[in-house]
Structure 1
């Protein structure tokens, strides 16, 4: 029997598997985020596949996830990935939505406590072309709002030698891999 999600092509289990593959092969596998491996190995990464189909519903769920992260000890959940495959597929719309996410942080008085990092299948840094390899550092199989604890980020950066070199190293890594290599890496 097919579920509603299967009929619509929305398969949360497949989506989560794809996100985990991206985390394990790219983010952790290529050490794009040198802080991800420890929290992932300790099962402190919460992955939520949103069924939101409107920006308003997504913003509401984002607020719920912010509150949950605020109210849960870091040793249980250190970071949350809110994957939203049915809304904000257009990168420019997604990029505009980040202002709403930041405004929500402020409204919940979580500015300075949490931060939102952004990943999208069509991520494009200002001043780059769509196919420039450096965009791959923030590309994910689906749009993702990544909630991070500021304290955890501060501790990780303080313990990491030369944190400013991470960005340049990541760009060199993905340039070496190239767009075709990236796609092959994330394929089945």
Structure 2
């Protein structure tokens, strides 16, 4: 079950997301590029109280503008967290498509890209209970706004980046459901 804003304060949503990043994303090295931005505190956790429609679009665009205007050292990347309104995974995917279209319309294609995380994340064509989905599962619906230039520089210094997803899937399957829940107990609520 997806937790909602009604269950947690904005501060609690942010804190639980930080714990997920530290224990899962960095702790399991699911994203080999995450540790430096966590360490230097240039990862922004932006929790919105908007849940749909124009308010959600405006909140997203404000975060995009903040990222574009900031220097990379002080603000490298943003997790845009939407605790209410996108509990249904397919509604979330529709919103992801809208946000990607907005970036393109704003002339930011090639400048920014989005990575997607959701408590009920499902890869198409994969059994629902497969642990591969957990590589993209987060406590709340989250859109990761990434600077493409920064990602390109990081990828240039990483051998075989195309192997990261398969390596993550193997790691998650090897750990198993119980070990993953032990590492990040909130997974028990929605996985």
Q: TM-score, normalised by structure 2?
A: 0.91
2 CA distance for matches of 1:133 and 1:142?
A: 18
Determine if the alignment matches structure 1 residue 168 to structure 2 residue 166.
yes
Which consecutive segments of 4 or more residues in structure 1 shift more than 3 A?
A: none
Q: How many residues align?
A: 183
- Structure 2: which 5+ residue stretches go unaligned? 187-191
Q: Does 1:51 align with 2:49?
A: yes
Map of 2:22 onto structure 1: 24
CA distance in 1, matches of 2:121, 2:7: 23
Q: CA deviation at 1:34?
A: 0.2
Pairing 1:83-102 to 2, within 5 Å after superposition:
83-102=81-100
1:148-163 to structure 2, matched below 5 A, reads 148-163=146-161
The 2-side partners of 1:181 and 1:89 are apart by 25
Residue 78 (structure 2) aligns with: 80
Give the equivalent residue in structure 2 for 1:15: 13
TM-score with structure 1 length normalisation? 0.93
Equivalent position of 1:103 in the other structure: 101
Partners of 2:131 and 2:108 lie apart in 1 by 33
Alignment partners' CA distance in 1, 2:126 and 2:63: 32
Name the Cα RMSD after superposition: 1.6
Tell me the alpha carbon deviations over residues 82-123 of structure 1, each in whole angstroms, 9 at most, x when there is no partner. 111112110011011111011110121111100011000000
Higher relative contact order (CA 8 A, sep 6+): 2
Aligned partner of 1:123 in structure 2 is: 121
